[in-house]
Amino acid sequence: MSGRGNRSPLIRGGVADVKQAARGFRWGRRSQVPRSAEPFVPEATSTVFRSDWSRRKPAIVAREAVQKAGLEPLFRSQVRTSVRGLDVFDGLKGPVIFAANHASHLDTPLVLLSLPDAWRRRTAVAAAADYFFDTWWRAVGSSVLFNTFPIDRRGGAMAQTPGEVLDEGWSLLIFPEGTRSPDGWMHNFRMGAAMLAHTHGVPVVPIAHQGTFAAMPRGRNWPAPGRRLLTIRFGAPISPRRDETVREFAARVKDAIAALLDEETSTWWESQRRVASGSTPDPEGPQVAQWRRLWDQTEPLADEPEDRVFAWSRRK
């Protein structure tokens, strides 16, 4: 047997079958339901795999090795990052809740790999139970790699609640939007992060990042070529006030992220003045045609001039 032309019908047909199946059944990607079949999809079963093991010593050691030897080199080979606001960690004691806008699967590694190592090692990531914990291999993979724990987006009970993880001294990374933005702009916040901060008396560290939607939006499973720039900015921790409701606090967290996003395109001083005057740009973006919203968010971030000096910044 040599050469493509001599391959037997068994192999030739097998290759064609595998190619068709790989394409049609979206191997390596999440399967999709035809739109007209969506009303007939059965209720998802509540099989959620446990993840508490991933916060024990052996898993922590394994994760450190995987993140530093595998994830970080791979991540940095595909994208560049610009990290600002690391000064917020000076004197800050955990646990805290990191609340960030959510536009891509790159968000989690971006946040984790931007954290100081000591904080990164003690941070767990809230992940949708129906997405990351529906199969054992996905649950194990995400838990080992990112220290994820399941949260139910539909409000069901989990084996281990976020509050318990928090009580064990772990900081939490939560994306309050609950899902990746379909257009890169920020969307409505759910109450979970604010509620946890409120009930457990921990501060929220707002995080704003940009560029992940342009680099790897929904539907892509690998970053766009060209080592695109991602920016991330940590804000000063904020705590619920004594007389503040959860809803009001959630709005304040969102405003803090909006101010950080504003700061990204201007300066800290200008953004603070706009906060004071109530003229911070709406992080949900302008109400214009969808293509214009997408167009705006898919523009690659421009590199900053080399001579501009930032305090507490890190570039890789």
Partner 1 sequence: MSRPGFVLEVDDRTPPLLVHEGLGFRMEDFPLGTRVVYPPESLPTVPDVDEAIREALLNPTDSDPLPALLKAGMKLTIAFDDVSLTLPTMRAPDVRQRIIEQVLTMAAAAGVDDVELISANAFHRRLTTTELEHIVGERVFRSFYGQGLLTNHDAEDHDNLAFMGKTEKDEHVVMNKRAAESDLLVYVNITLVPMEGGHKSVGVGLSAYNSLRHHHNNDTMVHSTSFMDPPNSELHASAWRMGRLIGEHVKVFQIETSVDNNVFPKPYDFFMKREWEWSVRDQASMLAVRRGLSVAPQRLRHKIFHDLRAPYGITGVNAGAVEPVHEKTIAKVYEQQAVEVQGQSDVLVMGVPYLGPYNVNSSMNPVLATCMGLGYYFNSYRGAPVVRRGGAVILYHPLDEGFNQLHHPSYVDFYEEVLAETTDPAVIGQKYEQQFADDPWYIHLYRTSNAYHGVHPFYMWYWAAHAMDHVDDVIWVGGNRRAAARMGFRAASTLLDALEMASDTVGPSPSITYLHNPPHLIADVTP
Positions that interact with partner 1 (CB under 8 A): 9-10, 13-14, 17-18, 20-21, 24-26, 31-37, 39-42
Rounded least distance, CB 30 to partner 1, Å:
11
CB closer to partner 1, 1 vs 276? 1
Q: How far apart (Å, rounded) are the C-alpha atoms in residues 298 and 276?
A: 30
Least distance to partner 1 from the beta carbon of 140, Å?
A: 16
244 to each of 21, 95, 147, 163, 248, how far by Cα in Å?
54, 21, 31, 20, 6
Q: 9 or 58, CB closer to partner 1?
A: 9
Q: Which lies closer to partner 1 via its Cβ, residue 13 or residue 163? A: 13
Residue 32 C-beta: closest distance to partner 1, Å: 4
Specify the 3-state DSSP secondary structure of 63: helix
Count of CB atoms situated within 10 Å of the CB of 265? 12
Nearer of residues 26 and 68 to partner 1, judged by Cβ: 26
> Cβ of residue 8: shortest distance to partner 1, in angstroms?
9
State in angstroms the smallest separation of the CB of 24 from partner 1.
4
- In the complex, what is the shortest distance from the CB of residue 34 to partner 1, in angstroms, rounded to a whole number? 4
Among residues 14 and 201, whose Cβ is nearest to partner 1?
14
Q: Which is nearer to partner 1, 27 or 312 (CB)?
A: 27
* C-alpha–C-alpha distance, residues 113 and 262, integer Å: 23
Q: Which helix H or strand E contains 209, and what residues bound it?
A: strand 204-210
Residues across the chain: 316
Q: Under a CB-based contact definition with an 8 Å cutoff, are residues 250 and 178 in contact?
A: no
Taking a C-beta distance cutoff of 8 angstroms, is the pair 212, 65 a contact?
A: no
DSSP H helices in the chain: 9-24, 57-66, 72-78, 107-114, 117-121, 129-132, 136-146, 162-167, 192-200, 212-215, 246-265, 268-277, 290-297
